[in-house]
Amino acid sequence: MKRCSIGSSIGSVAIFIFLYLPMLSVAVFSFNASKMGLKWGGFSTEWYEKLVHNQMILNAAWNTLVLAVTSTFISTIIGTMLAIGMFRFPWSRRAMNKLNVLLHLPVVTPDIIFAVALVIAFSVIRYMTGLFELGMASMIVGHVTFQISFVALAVKGRLELIGHDVEEAACDLYAGYWRVLTRVLLPMLMPGIVAGAMLAFTLSLDDFVISFFTAGPKSSTLPLFIYASVKRGITPEIHALSTIIMLATICTVAFMQKMAPGAKH
């Protein structure tokens, strides 16, 4: 097997350093005893202790988790149903092209436009019904609206890989549609469904713009809390929070890689 050149190896190492050095710096300064600035004041775990007892951060973390889990659960179900309905129903070519455009539109639409559109829609609903004040419910709806497309696209890719032969073979063996769906199609779609759900969950955790426009006074999330804190000045407490989020993300990715089909245990 041909080895990579020295230049390629150095370039690869440089890219990894460029990607992970900022995150490593945040982790290092989360143990800095100095409260402000880049001056090292000694090693300390004080900021992690304060983080655990900061009720505002705990509430924001809980809101973030509830928002991500709920929106991911809803969008995964709807996105999977949408993908199956689109790519297992005999649509005409013209109709399928239009559906594909509609499916990709939330993916390419800038978040700020999406957020403003949601605010206007919620305002119209409140004007007509007097309901739907901005808060956790509006944030969940806002996240679901853009997560559905990502889930549907992931499941779509899996559907195209599977093809129609297995389902047709099951039907030839006198399996009804419900049995084909639950015993054949969904198990084979599970890698795509899990991938779409993980993508939706990650996007929900990271989202700021849509959360900012649809949040209520009691539904602050971690991205919103960090943004508000940064405007007052970055403290090691924010570094500690960012480090915990980064470690949780790394552990989740490592777990999913280990559990992925074909992974070596």
Structural domains of the chain ordered from first start: 58-233 (1.10.3720.10)
218 pLDDT exceeds 90? no
Q: pLDDT class for 174, splitting at 50, 70, 90?
A: low
Please tell me what DSSP assigns to residue 32: B
Q: Which residue has the tokens 């989020």?
A: 245
Q: pLDDT class for 168, splitting at 50, 70, 90?
A: low
- Quick one: pLDDT at residue 205? 86
Distances (CA, A) of 27 to 52, 57, 197, 226: 17, 18, 28, 16
At 102-161, the pLDDT tens digits run 888 888 888 899 899 998 988 888 888 877 788 898 999 999 999 999 999 999 888 888
Would you tell me how many other CB atoms lie within 10 Å of the CB of residue 180? 18
CB 142 within 8 A of CB 75: no
CB 152 within 8 A of CB 79: yes
Q: Which residue has the tokens 């499941």?
A: 155
At 230-262, the pLDDT tens digits run 777 777 788 888 888 888 877 877 776 676 554
- At 43 the three-state DSSP class reads strand
- Quick one: pLDDT at residue 72? 93
Question: Which tokens sit at 108?
Answer: 């390419």
∠ CA 179-185-186, nearest 5°, is: 95
**Mean of pLDDT values over 208-216:** 90
User: Could you tell me the pTM of the whole model?
Assistant: 0.81
- Quick one: pLDDT at residue 38? 67
**Mean of pLDDT values over 91-95:** 84
At 16-75, the pLDDT tens digits run 888 888 888 888 888 887 776 567 778 888 888 888 888 888 888 899 989 999 999 999
Distances (CA, A) of 58 to 26, 51, 63, 65, 208: 20, 8, 9, 11, 18
CB 41 within 8 A of CB 32: yes
- Quick one: pLDDT at residue 165? 67
Alpha carbon distance 84, 113 (integer Å): 28
Alpha carbon distance 67, 110 (integer Å): 21
Alpha carbon distance 260, 264 (integer Å): 9
78 pLDDT exceeds 90? yes
- Quick one: pLDDT at residue 70? 95
- Quick one: pLDDT at residue 79? 93
Distances (CA, A) of 157 to 89, 114, 188: 16, 25, 12
Q: Which residue has the tokens 């609903």?
A: 125
| Residue 59, amino acid | N
